[in-house]
Structures are given as structure tokens and as C-alpha cells.
A and B are shown apart, each in its own frame.
Chain A
Amino acid sequence: MGDHAEHSEHIVSAGLYWLIWAILIICTVLTAWIATVDLGKFNTVVALAIATFKASIVALIFMHVKYTSEKMTKAILISAVFWLLLLLVLSLTDYASRFAG
């Protein structure tokens, strides 16, 4: 696409897409298996950590967040995730302290 110098779209290699797919499948099987292992309170932590890792690689590679030239995309994503964490963390710490003991 040399005749369109303004066109800065990144083409990701098919190999990387397959790699991400394989990691996502492995993580899915891993999270299902590890749920049956007794880790005490850490079962939930591990399940959510794996889910967050999977969501991150989907956003970065499949949704091209890593390659985008538009900085506003990252600003929107970061503020949306920040808002979500605000909602979840404040609500859950509130309820956690109410029902303590």
C-alpha cells in the first residue's frame, strides 16, 4: 500500500492470531480444571486473574488496541475500566464491611 502513505493500519500476522487463539483455548481449559482443585479462597482470585488475562489479550491483539494510532481509543478504554473498578471496588468494600462477622 505504498501509494497511500497516510494509511498507517497495522496488519497483524496470521501466526500471532493463531497463537493468541491457542493461549485463549489453553486458558479456558486451565480455568475449568483449576476450579476443581482446592485452593481455598484463591479459587476465585485465580479464576478472575485468568479471565482478566484473556480479556486483555483479546483487547490488545484482536481489538488492535496495541496497534491503534488513535490515542483517544486508549483514553476511552482506560476511563471505562477505571469507572467499572470504581463501581465494583467501592460497592464491594461497602458490603464486605457491613456483613463482616
Chain B
Amino acid sequence: MNDSAVAEHTEHENRPELRHHFADVEQQRNAASLGMWWFLGTEIMFFGGMFCGYLIYRRVYFPEFAVASRSLSLWIGTFNTTVLICSSLTVVMAVRAAQLGKRMLQVKMLLLTLLFGLAFLGIKGYEWREKYVEHHIPTFADYNVIRGEGSLIKGDNAKFLGLDKLQGDPVKLREREAEIQQRTKIFYSLYFALTGMHALHMVVGVGIFTVITIMAWRGKFTPEYHTPLEIAGLYWHFVDIVWIYLFPLLYLIDRRPGA
């Protein structure tokens, strides 16, 4: 036996978490991390297609998209973004606690992560409910952005959508209103698809982190081995990054006063 073979043999005996097909702990850790990065690569493709479709429609139907975007609450959107950023901080702090071998700190940080994640989903649910109340669910028969409490053609919006010039022509006015009705439906369809897919990823993340929290509570993670926590963290940060783009794209299309 040469020296490296002896070293490998003893490492396998001393480290129960080291699987037999890996040479050492670092190789195992790199392989796990790499697997998560490959998965995140496919996730970029998955969300990329939806973002691309959104950007094309947003360009073609800009005034209708801008008006529909203004119906989303800027305050709630901003607040929910900060909630998600706080959850990313608690994830890195949990990984750091594992690196330093502090078990209770890990558990506390992971519980905070779950709390922030659930808070985000709760706030998102409240926003979706608002859209329901305003009759802005594109697949429902009572969808209406022209009349009623969810009207998007009042005040500055009427001019922005070119409705002020059509006041003397009832036929053209009706046609334009029907067009606005259809085009805002495309915005809301994309809004629900994008935020819905993001929320689904959050639900999966909360599930993963529930398991991770239990593992941390049981003391599974040490300074030498905490790979599951680390790669679950990569997933969580990726979902955070998706929202970092969704927030300006959906909420901030055109918030200029009087535009």
C-alpha cells in the first residue's frame, strides 16, 4: 500500500458521512454542490422561458401592461422583497453556525428562515386575494378592468391608454375597451404564472428547510460535514434571485406619477 492509499483508508474509517465512492470529504462536498448548481442551471432555463415570454408581451402591449402593473401594491411588493432578503441572511448565518459548530444558533437561524419564508407566502396570498376581490383573475368569467372596483381606466390611466381621444366615438371606445380587457388579461396570466411558479418553489423550499431544521436539531451538521444544509441554501438563494428580478419586472413597469 502506498501512502495515499493508507491516508484514504483511514479517512474512510474516521468519517462515517464519507461515502465509499468518494476519495475524500472535499471531493464529496464539491460533487454535491456541483449537482445543485447543475440543477439551478436547468432552473434558469425554466424561468428564462417564462421571463422571455413576459418581456416580449410587455414590449408589444406596453401601455396595458403598465396600467395593470400599477394595480399591484408597491408597498406590499417592496416589503415582501425585504422579507425574502432577510430569509437569505438567516440561511447564510445558519450555514456559518454549522461551520463554527454552533448547533442551537443553526436551529434558531433555520427557524427564522422558515418564519420569513412562510411570511412571504402569506403576504403573497393576501396579494392574490386582492386580485380576486378586484375581479383581476384572468380565467374567471367576472374578469373586468373597465368597470367596477377593479377599473384600470380611471384618472391618468384613461389618457395613458388613449381613451380620452375616443370619447366622441362610442364604437371605437368600446373596441378599445375590449382590447384593454384582453391585453391586461395577458399581463395577469403571466403575473399569476410567474409569481405562482415562484411561490411553488418557495413551498418546496419550506419543505426542504423543515427537514434541514430537524437534521440540525439532531446535531447532524458539524464543521466537517454540513453539505445538505449548504446545498439547500443554494436553492433558497436562487429562489430569492428569481424574486429579485420578478419584483421590478412585475411591480415597477411604469410608476411615474401622471405618466
- The interface of chain A, by Cβ under 8 A from chain B, is 1, 4, 6-9, 11-12, 14, 17-18, 20-21, 24-25, 28-29, 31-32, 35-38, 43-44, 47-48, 50-51, 54-55, 58-59, 61-63, 68-70, 72-73, 76-77, 79-81, 83-84, 87-88, 91-92, 95-96, 99
Given the complex of chains A and B, what is the CA–CA distance between A91 and B50 in angstroms? 12
Q: Is there contact, CB below 8 Å, between A76 and B59?
A: no
Contact present for A6 and B25 (CB under 8 Å): yes
Q: Which of B200-259 contact A (CB under 8 A)?
A: 223-224, 233-234, 237-238, 240-241, 244-245, 247-249, 251-257, 259
Which of B91, B257, B259 lies in contact with A62, CB distance below 8 A? B91
Determine the distance from Cα of A20 to Cα of B85 in the docked complex, in whole angstroms: 10
Could you say which of A54, A55, A58, A73 contacts B34, with CB atoms under 8 Å apart? A73
- Contacting residues, chain A, for B30 (C-beta < 8 A): 69-70
Is B197 interfacial (CB-CB < 8 Å)? no
- Are B44's CB and A80's CB within 8 A? yes
User: B170 on the interface (CB 8 Å rule)?
Assistant: no
Q: How far is the CB of B89 from chain A (nearest CB, A)?
A: 4
Residues of A within 8 A of B156 (CB): none
B124-143 CB mask vs A (1 if < 8 Å, else 0) is 00000000000000000000
State whether A83 touches B45 (Cβ < 8 A): yes
Bound-complex Cα distance A80 to B47 (A) = 12
1/0 per residue B12-41: CB within 8 Å of A?
A: 000000000000111001100110011011
Min CB gap A89→B, angstroms: 10
Instruction: Tell whether, in the assembled complex, residue A70 and residue B33 are in contact, meaning their CB atoms are under 8 Å apart.
Output: yes
B59's nearest neighbour on chain A, judged by CB, is A95
- CB A61 to nearest CB in B, in angstroms, measures 8
Q: Which of B45, B60, B255 interacts with A35 by CB under 8 Å?
A: B255
Interface pair B45/A38, CB less than 8 Å apart:
no
Q: Mark B149-167, 1 if CB is under 8 A from A, else 0.
A: 0000000000000000000
Chain A residues with CB under 8 Å of B248's CB are 31, 35, 47-48, 50-51
B115 interfacial by beta-carbon distance below 8 Å: no
Once the chains bind, are A87 and B256 in contact (CB under 8 Å)?
A: no
B3 to chain A, nearest CB (A): 14
- Write the nearest CB–CB distance from B59 to chain A, whole angstroms: 6
Check A28 against B55 for contact (C-beta < 8 Å). Answer: no
Residues of A within 8 A of B99 (CB): 9, 11
Contact present for A58 and B74 (CB under 8 Å): no
Complex Cα gap A50–B252 (Å) = 12
Are A55 and B244 touching (Cβ within 8 A)?
yes
CA distance A4 to B40 in the complex (A): 30
- The list of the 9 closest CB pairs from A to B, nearest first, reads A47-B248, A35-B252, A80-B41, A35-B255, A21-B89, A32-B78, A38-B256, A70-B30, A80-B44
Query: Is B48's CB within 8 Å of the partner chain A?
Result: yes
CA distance A13 to B38 in the complex (A): 27
With A and B bound together, what is the CA distance between A36 and B256 in angstroms?
A: 4
CA distance A12 to B259 in the complex (A): 45
- How many angstroms from the CA of A74 to the CA of B145 in the assembled complex? 46
If A55-B245, A62-B88, A63-B237 touch, whether A37 touches B74 (CB-CB below 8 Å) is no
How many angstroms from the CA of A9 to the CA of B48 in the assembled complex? 31
Q: Are A1 and B223 in contact (CB under 8 A)?
A: yes
Q: How far is the CA of A29 from the CA of B117 in the complex (A)?
A: 20
Q: Is residue B96 contacting chain A, with contact meaning CB distance below 8 A?
A: yes
